Amino acid sequence: MIKKTLNRLRSKTSEANPPGQTTAVAQAQDTPTPKDLPNAPRPITRFSPQMPFIPLQQPDATTKPRISFVVIVYKMREQAKKTLHSLCADYQLGVNVADYEVVVVENTSTEVLGEQAATEIAGNIRYFLREDATKTPVPAINFGASQARGDYIAVIIDGARMVSPGLVNYTLAATQLADDVVIAVPGYHLGAKVQQEAMLEGYDQEAERQLLASINWPEDGYRLFEISCLSGTSAGGVFKPIGESNCICVAKHTWEELGGYDEQFTETGGGQVNLDFYKRAVELPGTLLITLLGEGCFHQFHGGVTTGQKGEQRQTAMESHFAQYRALRGGPYEPPEKRSIYLGAVPDAALKFIRSGANNVITVNGLEEHGG
């Protein structure tokens, strides 16, 4: 149709301008364009690499933290150190150490991080060690939330998840947009493939150490996008409904209305409890979903339940997770359909994920057929 329209226009132009007659187009081609003139403005093809952040109200010494990040740690000492470093105010941009706190809850194991190692990373970290014989992190999450001093609670269910440098600033800014916000961060895995697949090809903690060294982490935390792929529950990209957020933030009154994380989820690692909380929070009437477009939560390899097991062992674990969710909720899990508001600047390193995410939606919805 477009080709036919262009042909008709060309035909009319030829009729209106017989051979030998100068057209307006030809005249325009003989006239220098502004860009050819001396001292003409020069176009700039790229933004400054400096990321912008939203100015926040400066807290005073008596102000309690606005957000409490609850980080759950179990048998992941080295990974937890990196996660906590990525949350400290020296790494996070556009924030003050008094703006937020980090509540670390660790269940005892053979590889304990410990209070000294945790609290020496930053002055706004509080640490709790728990004796818990259960195989689920849910009681630890709810305990951490009970210790939170902030008006908002952000849960990182897996302490092996590093975050990007603007996450805290944009999360704080998002809390100012409405009273009942659900703030979500897309999930990524370090490595070229999701780790449950990459490990079958030899990916391990040493390979990951070399990968982080290749980008000089933590010098520029946004370079994590260069060495990562989308996690399974975010695989469709940010413009399709994601399945969960591994750094999800809600107001404390929303947390109380939902009753926190559901302790009926007793599977190893919590099963699908994180997905369940995300869905319940997003679908709660009146909540506003805000996705931090250019930020990420990056999973480190640590031999976890869903990313560190192989073959039949992993298959059995996943089937148990799915079965428990169905038993509790009456059917298989489906991500919430509520549309998101997007907040934040996008670093160059994340553009490939924005492009692929947009292409996924265009392809699924057939928008390219309608000029969309």
| Angle at alpha carbon of residue 338, lines to 370 and 298, rounded to 5° | 100
Percent of the chain with pLDDT over 90: 78
pLDDT tens track for 42-88: 888 889 999 999 998 776 666 799 999 999 999 999 999 999 999 99
pLDDT of residue 2: 46
Burial class (CB in 10 A: 0-12, 13-18, 19+), 356: middle
Of 16 and 168, which is predicted with more confidence? Answer: 168
Residue ranges per structural domain of the chain: 67-360
Whether the per-residue pLDDT at 354 is higher than 50: the answer is yes
Q: How far is CA 82 from the centre of its chain?
A: 17
Of 227 and 63, which is predicted with more confidence? Answer: 227
Query: Do residues 75 and 154 lie in contact, with contact meaning Cβ atoms separated by under 8 Å?
Result: no
The three-state (H, E, C) secondary structure of the chain, written as one string: CHHHHHHHHHHHHHHHCCCCCCCHHHHHHHCCCHHHCCCCCCCCCCCCCCCCCCCCCCCCCCCCCCEEEEEEECCCHHHHHHHHHHHCCCCCCCCCHHHEEEEEEEECCCCCCCHHHHHCCCCCEEEEEECCCCCCCHHHHHHHHHHCCCCEEEEECCCCEEECCCHHHHHHHHCCCCCCEEEECCEEEECCCCHHHHHHHCCCHHHHHHHHHHCCCCCCHHHHHHHEEECHHHCCCCCCCCCCCCCEEEEHHHHHHHCCCCCCCCCHHHCCHHHHHHHHHHHCCCCEEEEECCCCEEECCCCCCCCCCCHHHHHHHHHHHHHHHHHHHCCCCCCCCCCCEEECCCCHHHHHHHHHHHHHHHHHHCHHHHCC
Percent of the chain with pLDDT over 70: 86
Q: Tell me the C-alpha to C-alpha distance, in Å, between residue 229 and each of 139, 172, 219, 240, 369.
A: 30, 26, 20, 16, 29
pLDDT of residue 256: 98
| pTM, full prediction | 0.87
The CATH number of the structural domain formed by 67-360 is 3.90.550.10
23 pLDDT band (50/70/90 cuts)? Answer: low
Whether the per-residue pLDDT at 13 is higher than 50: the answer is no
Euclidean distance between CA atoms 252 and 289, whole angstroms? 16
Window from 218-222, 292-296, 367-371 with minimum mean pLDDT: 367-371
Whether the per-residue pLDDT at 25 is higher than 70: the answer is no
Best CA proximity match to 53, nearest among 94, 106, 4: 94
Rg (CA), the chain: 25
Whether the per-residue pLDDT at 93 is higher than 70: the answer is yes
Euclidean distance between CA atoms 112 and 120, whole angstroms? 15
